[in-house]
Amino acid sequence: MTNSIEKDRVVIFDTTLRDGEQSPGATMTHDEKLEIAGLLDDMGVDIIEAGFPIASEGDFRAVSEIAAQAVNSRICGLARANIADIDRCWDAIKHAEKNRIHTFIGTSPLHRAIPNLTKDEMADKIHETVTHARNLCENVQWSPMDATRTEWDYLCRVVEIAIKAGASTINIPDTVGYTAPVESADLIKRLIETVPGADDVIFATHCHNDLGMATANSLAAVAGGARQIECTINGLGERAGNTALEEVVMALKVRNDIMPWHTNIDTRKIMHISRRVATVSGFNVQFNKAIVGKNAFAHESGIHQDGMLKNPENFEIMRPEDVGLSGTSLPLGKHSGRAALRDKLNHLGYEVGDNQLKDVFIRFKELADRKKEVFDDDIIALMHSGENAEADRLQVVSMKVVCGTGGPAESTVEMEIDGADVTATAHGDGPVDATFKAIRELHPNKARLQLYQVQAVTEGTDAQATVSVRLEEDGMIATGQSANTDTVVASAKAYVNALNRLLVRREKAGPGADTREISYKDVT
């Protein structure tokens, strides 16, 4: 094991902004990527994989700016096994105080067939590209994609080549979530014992959740000798997702008696970043999700509630405060003042200036007039629903909806578009359909609705509804989200929010720009 980290510490490599964003529909805006990177940096993530610089001009710019703003974390960029990718990656990260080039190639028989390379040709390519990366950057990570389905002898051969070429971290990806914990531990252990030079590098694990074992496989790899876990916030990622950062970090913290390793993560910041990633990605966290799900610290059974009242340790193996929850959800009301709201926001992980507090307080009062009690989740939804509204070109001013059993629904929508007030009325199969049609009359577009999702924020008939809308237009995808006690109003604002994001992306791309991103299958 290399002396570059303590033997009992596990490095956390977060790839929310790269592998996580590959999840269909989970694309984030430029500013959102910078914000999430800042939160990751602040919570103690060791390495942030900020993106795939050659994929698009936007990805390059995001990685470059994240590299410039990082304070604590090492900033990593991804590159395929070719010189152009590696050079582009280096250009994006070279000005970071701490940087890393991560280059990869698929080594299993299935993946070798994609570029149609023989074993010897691929071995030569690995030596050439890792050497080139090491000549640019002193910190290089190499990954044999689909390692868990690569022939053992060949895997050992290419890992040895990468180490000799200068890779300081060898990542072993379970790209398709195929392996099981006992195999994961054994694979890392055997590589460390078998490959010459393995003692001088850090072995990493990158697991997907196709069989629901990503967290178990990652922890097993650590038991086998890996000292870096690649993961994402909320387990975001392709198909069934990646290893969830919050799960491995809290597992190591809670069960340190049998897993004697630690991380540098400030676990009290987990809930805040989980909520933020859910909002900007448009991927809501399932209620029963471990650590960060809404029900993770909820107890409804009478037996459980009685046990909790007598001693929380009866049914809770960790404290809510350990992951950034208040432990209780004490409501505010219409008589609460600015000081109480600011205190609540600070408790929920939001630091707001005076001007932002003034705006949030106005919307809080409007909500409190409609709801008897305003709970923590209402406050969180309120914070997210009002973001960047003043800068949007499209804004909903007012709505009037008529619906029932007697005929088609009718929606009249007044909007402000580039400073001008406009109004349209449309009919549809229900109030939401009619409202979306009215908005399309006011702002004609070809965007296709990929997702429409409604989720109650709290309980009761006066609960806020959080609506998520995902739109696709000319290869660009944008997600909008809004919360309101009126589901139709929330739907309209979420739809308009997504349209505003599409406008911003089109403006940044420029006229006639190719907005499509390079596929990982375009290996040359």
CB 232 within 8 A of CB 241: yes
Report whether 208 belongs to an annotated binding site: yes
Report whether 384 belongs to an annotated binding site: no
CB 452 within 8 A of CB 469: yes
Whose tokens are 């582009």? That residue is: 88
DSSP 242: B
Q: CA-based angle 248:349:486, to the nearest 5? A: 105
DSSP string, 396-449: EEEEEEE-SSSS-EEEEEEEEETTEEEEEEEEESSHHHHHHHHHHHHS----EE
Report d(CA 143, CA 158) in Å as an integer.
10
CB 192 within 8 A of CB 221: no
Per DSSP bridges, beta strands 228-231 and 202-207 are parallel
Helices (H) and strands (E) in the chain, counts: 16, 14
Per DSSP bridges, beta strands 74-80 and 99-106 are parallel
Report d(CA 171, CA 185) in Å as an integer.
14
DSSP string, 344-402: HHHHTT----HHHHHHHHHHHHHHHHH-S-B-HHHHHHHHHHTTTGGG-SEEEEEEEEE
Name beta bridge partners: 402: 410
Report d(CA 172, CA 227) in Å as an integer.
12
| 3-state SS record for 255-284 | CCCCCCCECCCCHHHHHHHHHHHHHHHCCC
Report whether 427 belongs to an annotated binding site: no
Name beta bridge partners: 453: 468
CB 8 within 8 A of CB 260: yes
| 3-state SS record for 98-158 | CEEEEEEEECCHHHHCCCCCCHHHHHHHHHHHHHHHHHHCCCEEEEEECHHHCCHHHHHHH
Report d(CA 10, CA 24) in Å as an integer.
30
Q: Cα 351 to the chain's mean position, in Å?
A: 21
Instruction: Sheet with 448-456: list strands edge to edge.
Output: 448-456, 465-473, 476-484
List residues forming the annotated binding site for Mn(2+).
19, 206, 208, 242
Residues of each annotated binding site: 19, 206, 208, 242
